[in-house]
Structure 1
Amino acid sequence: MDSEALRVTGLSGGYGAVQVIFGIDLTVRRGETVALCGPNGVGKSTLVRMISGLSRPSSGTVLLGGRDVTSVPGAKRVRMGLTTVIGQQAFGSLSVRDNLRMHTYPVPRHHERPDTAVDGALAVFPRLRARADQPASTLSGGERQMLVLAKTLIQRPDVLLIDEFSLGLAPVVVGGLLELIRRLAAAGVATLLIEQSVNVAMSVADRMLFMEHGTIIAEHTPAELRESPDLARRLVLGGHAQ
């Protein structure tokens, strides 16, 4: 966990003339899980889009494994080891298996056959394996979240970005998905987790960052926040506690 997998320095930008984030600095080391928390509308998802290459910042840099990828298109960042999970997105008309097969295009960097990669991902999620030939549109919310996380097992990222992780899912489903994140961290994957629930974030993160008005206002460990519940409550609601 000594080497940086992701470094963001002075990242600013937004949409057209509307600036959303202002001078963001953060790092995530290999094997580390960092949670980014804060109320809606503070710029968390915009930051994810800029790190993943879906939006271009007006200033600042994004480094993956020490390589500057600020101007690199999003698709190429995937081939360089960055995977992004946003919500429960899936191709509803395709089967579960075909959805996973769609994500095998970066796999040649690992020299693994697509069908082997898909079978390996399904083996981790028995519920998905039982529904492998069903359209993704027939899955429950928890199963769709399993599906989009299963692609990370295929792409084998060095850096994983997850946005809207636990939204609308039952606690038992969230618990199983958190265990997968822990397994990925144990394998050396660096994870930046965007999470509305501070309790969910505290259960898996090594460090927690809090955003307000497009900037990071605080950094704490889960242990520190457990010792000060009032501080955690103020931070997640947008209160700039000192």
Structure 2
Amino acid sequence: MTNAPALACAGIRASYGPVQVLFDAGLTVQQGEMVALLGPNGVGKSTLLKVISGLLKPDDGSVHLGGVDVTTMSTRKRVGHGLCQVVGQATFPSLSVTENLAMHGYTSGSRRWTKEAVEAALAVFPRLHARRDQPAANLSGGERQMLALAKSIVVEPKVLVIDEFSLGLAPVVVGGLMELVRRLNERGSAVLLVEQSVNVALSLVDRVYMMEKGEIIAEETASDLAADPERVRALMLGGHVAVGS
């Protein structure tokens, strides 16, 4: 199992009621790799994340974590297999920074959670360490995003899924968060990033999947896409550009 991809999903079909949203969608994230899933709004990116996290049962297809088939497993069990998803600036506003970190360890069901794990998370985020006793409601948007990322350190995920971490944040804050994501990756977490900012994604990840109308239409290295802005523009505007064109 050690040589298996950190995350692999294939042939995913998913619907909301009678409306099919995903059509044979699939992607792979290797151990230690950072991958982005890009595409215009409304093409099914968040739906695919729900399937990966176990929040939406697919009509067909499979999801594997580290070679283990988790397609029919609950979200809680997927966490036990190393999956952690960061959604926006999700925090408990009335709890302190330290309490938020401890709560994440508790709700994840991780037996690895200890005071030392919380301290390790705070050590990676000096700004949070300085505000560790303050309620999350008092943090800035960037600091709340840091806290959402810091919570992942407590459970030491094998696969970290991040949904729109740069949304609504100033460029200088985003730059700092990008460095923190790199550090999380260096600590051993494979990363799947869904991101509206193409520039952020291409400067951070190794490979990119492009999605359109519920299908994966292209798979490229980030360096190749960065060198072809016209292709990126066409893909993000919903224009199906053939691979290799």
1:87 matched to which residue of 2?
A: 88
Q: Give the letter for the 2:24 counterpart.
A: G
1:168 matched to which residue of 2?
A: 168
C-alpha deviation, 1:187, in angstroms? 3.0
1:98 matched to which residue of 2?
A: 99
Q: How is 1:194-205 mapped onto 2 (pairs within 5 angstroms)? A: 194-205=194-205
Query: Deviations along 1:151-196, whole A, 9 cap, x unmatched?
Result: 1111100011110111011122211221122223223321110010
1:18 matched to which residue of 2?
A: 19
C-alpha deviation, 1:3, in angstroms? 3.8
C-alpha deviation, 1:90, in angstroms? 0.9
C-alpha deviation, 1:228, in angstroms? 1.3
Contact 2:6 2:30 in 1 (8 A): yes
Q: Distance in 2 between the 1:2 and 1:220 partners?
A: 22
Q: How is 1:135-214 mapped onto 2 (pairs within 5 angstroms)? A: 135-214=135-214
Q: Tell me: CA distance 1:120–1:187, structure 2 relative to 1, closer, same or farther (3 Å).
A: closer
Q: Distance in 2 between the 1:2 and 1:34 partners?
A: 18
1:119 matched to which residue of 2?
A: 119
Q: Give the letter for the 2:103 counterpart.
A: M
C-alpha deviation, 1:14, in angstroms? 2.3
C-alpha deviation, 1:239, in angstroms? 1.4
Q: Tell me: CA distance 1:108–1:224, structure 2 relative to 1, closer, same or farther (3 Å).
A: closer
Query: Deviations along 1:48-104, whole A, 9 cap, x unmatched?
Result: 011011111111110001111011100111121100001111111111111111111
Alpha-carbon RMSD across the aligned residues, in angstroms, is 1.5
2:39 matched to which residue of 1?
A: 38
Asked if residue 5 in structure 1 is aligned to residue 6 in structure 2, the reply is: yes
2:233 matched to which residue of 1?
A: 233
- Per the normalisation by structure 1, the TM-score is 0.94
Contact 2:5 2:30 in 1 (8 A): yes
- Per the normalisation by structure 2, the TM-score is 0.93
Contact 1:36 1:193 in 2 (8 A): yes
Q: Percent identity among equivalent residues?
A: 59
Contact 1:8 1:27 in 2 (8 A): yes
C-alpha deviation, 1:108, in angstroms? 4.4
Q: Distance in 2 between the 1:29 and 1:149 partners?
A: 21
1:76 matched to which residue of 2?
A: 77
Contact 2:12 2:62 in 1 (8 A): yes
C-alpha deviation, 1:204, in angstroms? 0.7
Q: Which stretches of structure 1, 4 residues or more, deviate above 3 A after TM superposition?
A: 106-110
Contact 2:210 2:219 in 1 (8 A): yes
